[in-house]
Amino acid sequence: MQSDGREAAGAGDGEKRAATRTPPPRVRRLGVTSAVVTPLALIGLGALGSNPDYTVVSLIAGVLVFCLGGALALLPRTSTWPVLLMALPGMALLIGVGPAIQSEVLVLSGVHTPVVVTAAHSSKGKNDRVSWTCDLRRTDGLPLPHAFLDGSSGCHGRSDVGRTLDVLVDPAGWVPPGVPDMDREDLRQGITLLAVATALLAAVPVLARRTRPQAAGL
């Protein structure tokens, strides 16, 4: 009699533990919605950040969206591995979408424009590495939105001042100028990697949720 009571109590405790581990339907729907919306929101903020005027704002908003969306997508969190798996594709979208859109815009609609380097500015980063930014002016005197060129785009230092360069300019003025000899193969590979990162960021919370009922039943 006592053993039967203990078994019944144990079964009742197991059911309670399973119930507490399994999130209610409303939480599951919220998590799935967040898993889908978060990558799309990061892509949208990355597109906004492709304009240098909004880069800092979009990056801050992207970090907040990623943290909030990841927390909602993984509620109730039972392990840390989904968080670690989401971190890498999330960072890839935060950092990579803006430059990819800038390059794609210039490749598809950029106009070859001669410009003159009017000044060069240096700054030190980590490990005392010096990076350069060149100020530009169109040779025809027309306005040039985001009239600068960084080191990765062809600014090498004060020796460039006075030089005339051929750059690609966005007619809409959304993205900054860039060099015309962009490697399109690298650009395609970068876009492919961002697409994979988007799929992973959306898939990890869904996979994590599918493993919870199995864990709860053990």
For residue 2, pLDDT over 50 is answered with: no
DSSP states of 45-66: HHHHHTSGGGHHHHHHHHHHHH
Residue 175 lies in a domain: no
Is 176 a member of any domain? no
81-92: pLDDT as tens digits: 666 777 788 888
- 47 in a structural domain: yes
Report pLDDT digits (tens) over 106-133: 988 999 999 999 999 988 877 778 888 9
E strand or H helix that includes residue 123: strand 111-124
The whole-model pTM stands at 0.74
Let me know if residue 198 belongs to a domain: yes
Q: Does 174 reside within a domain? A: no
- For residue 176, what are the contacts with CB-CB under 8 A and spacing of at least 6? 52, 102, 145, 146, 148, 149, 170
Can you give the residue range of the structural domain that contains 144?
111-169
